Chain A
Amino acid sequence: MNIINIEHIAKIYQVGSEEVHALRDVSLRIEKGEYVAIMGPSGSGKSTLMNILGCLDTPTRGLYEFKGVNVSEMSDNELAAIRNREIGFVFQTFNLLPRSDALHNVELPLIYAGVPAHERKEKARMALEHVGLADRIHHKPNELSGGQRQRVAIARALVTEPAIILADEPTGNLDTKTGEDIMALFNEIYEQGNTIILVTHEEYIAEHAERIIRIRDGLIERDEKVVNRYIPQKNGASKL
């Protein structure tokens, strides 16, 4: 089943009097349970593509169907609802609320989804347990290491049981070993049947996925299966 179906989308920004074609003509399909990496150098349009895939932005033209629903012409509020229920974001800079503890950060999407307090606290706790942070639920981001922060972010992404996990350079701010841990966590999430879209510019990270889409100058350059997928090993230091 297609979760994402994109046909001939383009995104054009107006910068002063100049038109910038961030995406020229992109079509792609992503199925449920896939692990896809979107790769490209900076300026290639991969961030724009990710914003559109994540319903943070809408294409200038073209069709974007998410689970069979046309989202390319949705209003801001409708997009917010899709993001809330269907998409779990993991960012390079974690993007946690700095003054809230891990539990509150994880339950935040559930607050916006209207889940009653006791139920969402339970779900948030379970999500944090899932990423190995059961003993850190009342720590604030500045009391956590980079890897731990990213795991809080992953727990936040997972807590609403979204249709896709959208990870934008999730290891970009982490050292290699911690990055490895995070990639192992993604692998585990993937093996549990989740759909993951990974945006990266590192070949090595992209090879964790089973499919790589390469973007250059606003067009898809190549879309290929990974023959020899890199399966990360659980690092002894982590609590997975």
Chain B
Amino acid sequence: MKEFLYELKEGLLISLRAIGANKARSVLTTLGIIIGVTSVVLMSTAINGIDNAFQNGVASLGSDNLYIDKWEWFNNDTPWWELRNRRNLTVEDYERYKELAKIPLAVAPTIWSFQNIRYKNRIVESIIIQGTNHEYIKTTNLTFKEGRFFNELESNSGRNVVVLGSEIAKNLFPNGYAVGEYVRIKGHKFKVVGILDEQGSWVMGNFNPDKQVFLPLQNIYKYFQSADFRSITINVRAKNSLMVEATKEEAIGIMRRVRGLKYNEPDDFSINQQEGLLNTINQTVGVIQIAGLFITGLALFVGAIGIMNIMFVSVKERTKEIGIRKAIGAKRRTILSQFITEAAIICMIGGTIGLIIALILSLVVNQFLPTSVQIDTIILAIVISIATGVVSGFAPAYTAAKLDPVEALRYE
């Protein structure tokens, strides 16, 4: 052990001397590794960022939720025309379900409509208007920046009140002070009662609550579309994640009763789950991850080849030095570790610089795409760069170690 530490220390010192003696070359060699590590780290922070955005998006919708819908969201086992031919879910279905369901934490009906929304001369076009009731907020994890969700009274009496997603609010009221103001949707006036916190789940597309507004469900039928135009979705929140399955079983039973299905008829509704969404997200992120890391891995690989190349040249050029070292007693192992250490140090320096550059760049990229720097990324980058050095340094080092001292001394 003591001997090993001694050799390690002396090996490091000898390698540092050699690197210092060939500064220009060391810098150029390092460049390849810098670029490789920078791209790998940057890519992985971007992937982590996208992944986090997806997960946060899902979390903001609530992770223990079920969505009873006419449509099946994620699994496409059932042909779409069969889904289309299902009867729409109605508010009455919701009410009967709510009456019968014993286990859910909260249930709420939702229906959506595409509309423009305006405030004075500002307009946001084609956004999702979610019609729901006061229970809706209990089925989500949404939080408020200002104001509140509409209450039971407002919901039941169909008041013209609206809750704005953060992005909608930002666009209509760049200076703030939205609560209490009136916005217009399809010409009808709605009083703003609340503004949601930014959920940051841009990757969720239309699911993103930042880009939605919420108002009492009856107003959708009253102003925007007839009740049979589109099926409603029933949002169901289970008490906790352990209860999700039981809640689902209960929902299937109740819904079959509500819909009056005979025992031999298939379900004419679907119970959709976050899990389906998560699977889809994980698949997407997985593909991005593999493709991204493969491409950036190539950059690192090119860097590694560069190191190997330079180390071969270095061994050739320092043949005489190797001969001298061997003549005065350096063992094969000593020479081997000297050159491997040298390659590893060059790579580690390159890796560290690459890491720093990547971290700075990820701050810049964060302005456009979410990035997330994780400690394991940092450790991984350092480990990868050292491993690159060891692997790419091995062949040249082995060549050096097995040089014949007589021949090496004669080399000019």
Contacts and interface: CB of A to CB of B under 8 A. Distances in A.
B327 interface: yes
Nearest to A48: B406
Nearest to B9: A117
Nearest to A94: B324
Interface string A85-108: 100010100011101100010001
B326 interface: yes
Contact of B321 (A76, A97, A109): A97
Contacts of B321: 97
A84 B329 contact: yes
Contacts of A156: 328
Contacts of A89: 327-328
Given A80-B326, A99-B21, 11 more contacts: A57-B405, A76-B332, A80-B329, A81-B329, A83-B328, A84-B328, A85-B329, A91-B409, A104-B17, A112-B331, A116-B6
Contact of B325 (A51, A91, A108): A108
A109 B330 CA distance: 8
A112 B327 CA distance: 11
Interface residues of A, number: 27
B333 interface: yes
16 contacts: A54-B327, A56-B409, A77-B331, A81-B329, A83-B326, A83-B329, A84-B328, A84-B330, A89-B328, A96-B324, A99-B17, A99-B21, A100-B17, A104-B17, A112-B328, A114-B6
Contact of B334 (A56, A57, A91, A112): A112
Contact of A95 (B320, B332, B334): B320
A84 B6 CA distance: 17
B329 A113 contact: yes
A80 B331 CA distance: 6
A76 B334 CA distance: 12
A111 interface: yes
B21 A114 contact: no
Contacts of A51: 406
Interface of B: 3, 6-7, 10, 14, 17, 21, 320-321, 323-334, 405-406, 409
A103 B405 CA distance: 23
B192 to A, nearest CB: 75
A91 B320 CA distance: 13
Nearest to A112: B329
A95 B409 contact: yes
Contacts of B406: 51, 56-57
B60 to A, nearest CB: 60
Interface in A130-178: 156
Given A56-B406, A99-B17, A114 B328 contact: no
Contacts of A113: 329
Given A77-B332, A95-B320, A97-B321, A56 B17 contact: no
Given A56-B405, A57-B406, A100-B17, A95 B327 contact: yes
B324 A112 contact: no
Contacts of A85: 329
Contacts of A54: 327
B40 to A, nearest CB: 34
A106 to B, nearest CB: 10
B55 to A, nearest CB: 53
Contacts of A99: 17, 21
Nearest to B18: A99
Most buried by B among A56, A80, A84: A80
Given A51-B406, A95-B320, A97-B321, A56 B333 contact: no
Contacts of B6: 114, 116
B406 to A, nearest CB: 5
B199 to A, nearest CB: 60
A77 to B, nearest CB: 5
B405 to A, nearest CB: 5
Nearest to B14: A111
A156 B3 CA distance: 23
A78 to B, nearest CB: 9
Nearest to A98: B321
Nearest to A47: B406
A76 B403 CA distance: 11
Contacts of B328: 83-84, 89, 108-109, 112, 156
B327 A111 contact: no
Interface in A25-57: 51, 54, 56-57
A56 B323 CA distance: 10
B3 A114 contact: yes
Contacts of B409: 56, 91, 95
Most buried by B among A77, A95, A111, A112: A111
Nearest to B21: A99
Contacts of A77: 331-333
B331 A97 contact: no
